[in-house]
Amino acid sequence: FTHPFVAIKALKVTIRIYAITDSIKRSGSIGADNSGGKLDAFKHAFWIASVSAAIGPKKALKLGVAHEKGNERQFKKHQLEDEVLPDSISSVMDLHNNVQGAGVVEASKKYSVQQLQEKIMQLLVNGQLVCIKKDKQGNYLTCAGESIDLQQWRGKWSIPKCLIPSNEN
């Protein structure tokens, strides 16, 4: 960010949102999968919605894009994000959910954290967010439903994972 006050405001919101998301994870209400699951989808949409409410949707979406570019740099350096190596479909998922989150914030309307949380939960329940398709054991699946052997895809940015609406299992 070239605007330090905006960056500080976004950081404060981010810290608060991660604490709330961690609390939701512990409750198990939408699962605990922070790597392509419903919790991950919720986290990104809620984060960008909250940052949008604080600094505006345009700046919030730029922050989300910068974050995803950072994930690609992490991948190239073999650095983990949330205990897994980032990949292209995870970035596509996050960018989609960021746009959905920013979309709930209307110009000149103030929202409480609880209101934003409820709006994002509704997006999740309605299938407007996306998740990565997995089997019951947590293995990633292709769109055809075939299990993906991640060992075969080690070191690859593009893995044939499949995005599904957040209201599918």
Written as one string, the DSSP assignment of 47-88 is: HHHHHHHHH-HHHHHHHHHHHHHHHHHHHHTT--BTTB---H
**Cβ contacts of residue 79 below 8 Å, gap of 6+?**
85
- Cα separation, 70 vs 86, whole angstroms: 10
Give 127's contacts (C-beta < 8 A, 6+ positions apart).
165, 166, 167, 168
Predicted structure pTM score: 0.91
pLDDT for residue 107: 62
pLDDT score recorded for residue 78: 79
Q: pLDDT tens per residue, the chain (169 residues)?
A: 457 888 888 899 999 998 999 999 999 999 999 899 999 999 999 999 999 999 999 999 999 998 888 888 888 887 877 778 889 999 999 999 999 999 998 765 788 899 999 999 999 999 999 999 999 999 999 999 999 999 999 889 999 999 999 999 7
